[in-house]
Structure 1
Amino acid sequence: MSAAGSGPQTDDEFRFLRSDAERVGRGGPLPPVARTSDVLADRRTVRGLAFDGEQPPQLVALHGAGLNAHSFDPTLLALGRPALALDLPGHGRSDWRSDADYRPAALAADVAEVLDARATDPVALVGHSLGGLTAALVAAARPHLVRRVILIDITPGVSPRRDAGAVHEFIRGQRHFGSIDEIVDRARRFGIGRDQAAIARGIALNTRVRADGRLEWAHHFAHLDAPPGGDEPHPYAAIWRALAESSRAGVPSSLIAADAGMLDAELVAEWRERLPGSPVVTIAGPHNLHEAAPAALADAIDRLLADDRSPAR
């Protein structure tokens, strides 16, 4: 197995942008969207997608486990802001980590290097699931480069064994498939999204063809036996401290929860108790809001960012 990430089945990775724009009601010409590439100190490469990249990014988006930067295409098209969506290490077209360490702390160190190279002004960090936990740590490590951190359907109180078991089973329970339709059917059985076309689009951009003609996931997670966090019941609890430190440093935090997602009332209540004054917005949809409800998610992000008086604090 190669340690490098593999691209999608076709070189035309932007083939869904027009339909993505139509889906979120964006008219007119599409913004320029281009691949980015950043070489880290250890010579691994992190790749991403720059939306309207002639301008510095106002927002950096980090996807969840088993997804990739394209997951945010519809949301970023709806937002219409210069943005950078990253393929986290081990995902999309970014290199795989030889140590297979995809815990938030390891990912945050990699993302912080990219932020050092690309952020000319403080950016909003928007992270879904694993990307949200990573964003919280990046904000604590680079508060001068972050204006706000927004977590999507995740908090440090989540227990992978209790709250994410279905996601991990979906990724690892079956590792190769005969067709995209077969994966779509499996995704719907696991409650991964509701819109069949949106699910098929995400799968097409997240799989590759094996030598025997069968499809497999392109991300490293699907080829590992254990998820990040191991068997600890609450492996991310220390990230609460990172969010509190960021808040004291002037970086506000916000939570966008899915009403049919990973967070129950107890987890949302814990967020409110630990981070009083940090907004919570609830949107109708499943865990992958950026794929299932991109227009509503973009509107929620836009309203949260409007609360910031200026990009620089």
Structure 2
Amino acid sequence: MSHPLTDATPIEFADLLAGLPAGAAPPVVQRRWLTIPSGGHVSGVFWHTGAPRVLLLHEAGASARTWDDVLTALGRPAVAVDLPGHGRSTWRGRGDYRPRRLAASVAEAAHSFAPADVPVVGRGLGALVAVAATAKAPARLGRLVLVDTLPGSPAAADRPWPTPSPDFADQDEAHAWLTARTRAGAGAGPGTDPGAGSAGRPDARTARQETTQGDDGRWTWRHHLGALPDGAPTDLDDEALWARLAAAPSPLLVRTQGGPLDDKAVARFTGEVPTGEAVTVEPGPAALAALLRGLLP
């Protein structure tokens, strides 16, 4: 099941046309789904034609669409995956979204959606899931690229979503709630442009992409984190992933200027991950896209 971005643009991807220069050909963007053995499905957003050359995983409370600006700038075939419980991927009944619990589903999605050995880029929860999935399927997944995230870092330990989260009369109200939450110290939060560093902020596009309207006309979040069942884990960080990160072949840590990682965190990475490399990039999707372009096969 797929939806190319053409003149008959599906509603989901219509916003991608707005930022195109006059006369520019729109990219081909498709959504696909994979049924996974544990039940439910995982969704991916595919950019351009041909086999994806990179796979991307988003932070908690966001979706594959958070990578839109990076993938527009990248201009290469890619797939951004909705983590379980996010975007158009199935919610889990027990509400357990800890990284090691998601690893098998993400490894299965990578096996179906992309060739072996493509780089796996993650931010926030997606970065931790990437570490866990690579440890689970080392022959399948390519080089790890962690954006502004390490186990125990601020991006990995964002303040949990309030459960239940409020619902909203419209998406403008959802936007205002996101902005107030960020100002109250919730961290980068959903919808932050990967690579934007401290300049990243929730915006109206996030509210459009990450909310859905119910039969009663009210708007709620697409992800499960705002409606977790009683007893579900809310701490999605995992210090135990340091050992798995240290065993990964040549992981790359991308630190954004002004972003959440401090010198101490980077020093721990270089000290505990013998084959790791750390680089610093300017804020914004263009800088991150340029870095990724140099890594692609």
Letter matched to residue 43 of structure 2 = R
Residues 300 and 173 of structure 1: CA distance in aligned 2, closer, same or farther (over 3 Å) = farther
Aligned match of 1:288: none
Q: Is the 8 A contact 1:175 1:217 kept in 2?
A: no
Structure 1 counterpart of 2:17: 18
Question: Gaps (5+ residues) in structure 1?
Answer: 1-9, 286-292
SS of residue paired to 1:84: strand
Change (3 A) 1:173 1:272: farther
The more displaced of 60-69 and 222-231 is: 222-231
- 1:45-96 deviations in Å (ceiling 9; x for gaps): 11111112x4111111111111011111111121111111111111111111
SS in structure 1 at match of 2:13:
coil
SS, match of residue 177 in structure 1 = coil
Specify the alignment match of 2:3 in structure 1: none
TM-score normalised by the chain length of structure 1 = 0.77
Return the match for 1:164 from 114, 137, 158: 158
More helix by percentage? 1
CA distance in 2, matches of 1:120, 1:14: 25
- Give the match's secondary structure for 2:119: strand
Specify the alignment match of 2:288 in structure 1.
297
Which is worse superposed, 205-214 or 66-75? Answer: 205-214
Asked whether the equivalents of residues 103 and 228 of structure 1 are also in contact (C-alpha less than 8 Å), the reply is no
The number of equivalent residue pairs is 275
Instruction: Name the counterpart of 1:219.
Output: 223
Aligned-pair distance for 1:214?
Answer: 2.4
Give the alignment's Cα RMSD to 1 decimal: 2.9
| 1:42/1:164 CA distance change after superposition, 3 Å | closer
Letter in 1 for 2:214: R
Q: Tell me by how many angstroms 1:139 deviates.
A: 1.6
Correspondence for 1:180 among 166, 171, 182: 171
Q: Does 1:92 align with 2:77?
A: no
Of 240, 256, 264, which aligns to 2:254? 256
TM-score (norm 2): 0.81
Structure 2 CA distance, aligned partners of 1:302 and 1:226? 43
**Structure 2 counterpart of 1:239, from 238, 241, 265:** 241
Letter of the structure 2 residue corresponding to residue 56 of structure 1: A
Cα distance, 1:43 vs. partner? 3.1
Separation of aligned partners in 1, 2:232 and 2:272: 24
**1:49 maps to 2:45:** yes
Q: State the Cα deviation string for residues 234-285 of structure 1 (Å, max 9, x = none).
A: x5122111122222xxxx2111223444323322221121124523233455
1:148: how far off? 1.0
2:134 equivalent in structure 1: 139
- Counterpart of 2:32? 36
- Work out the percentage of aligned pairs sharing the same amino acid: 34
Asked if the contact 1:59/1:125 (under 8 Å) is kept, the reply is yes
- CA shift in 2, pair 1:283/1:228, >3 Å: farther
Asked if the contact 1:48–1:85 (Cα under 8 Å) also holds between the matched residues in 2, the reply is yes
Amino acid at match of 1:66: G
Cα offset for 1:40? Answer: 0.7
Deviation at 1:146, TM superposition (A): 2.5
Once the two structures are overlaid, the 10-residue window that deviates more, 43-52 or 187-196, is 187-196
Paired with 1:206 and 1:177, the residues of 2 have a C-alpha distance of 13
Counterpart in 2 of 1:6? none
2:102 maps to 1:107 = yes
Contact 1:281-1:300 at 8 Å conserved across structures? no
Q: Does the 8 Å CA contact 2:251/2:275 hold for their aligned counterparts? A: no
> What SS does structure 1 have at the residue aligned with 2:83?
coil
The yes-or-no answer on 1:67 pairing with 2:49 is no
Alpha carbons 1:20, 1:74 under 8 Å: kept: no
Which stretches in structure 2 are left out of the alignment for 5+ residues? 1-8, 193-198
Structure 1 residue ranges, 4+ long, deviating more than 6 angstroms after superposition: 225-228
Q: Is 1:199–2:199 an aligned residue pair?
A: no
- Kindly indicate whether the alpha-carbon contact (under 8 Å) linking 1:126 and 1:149 is maintained by their aligned counterparts in 2: yes
Offset of residue 174 of structure 1: 4.4
Which of the numbers 242, 258, 268 marks the counterpart of 2:266?
Answer: 268
Instruction: Tell me by how many angstroms 1:206 deviates.
Output: 0.4
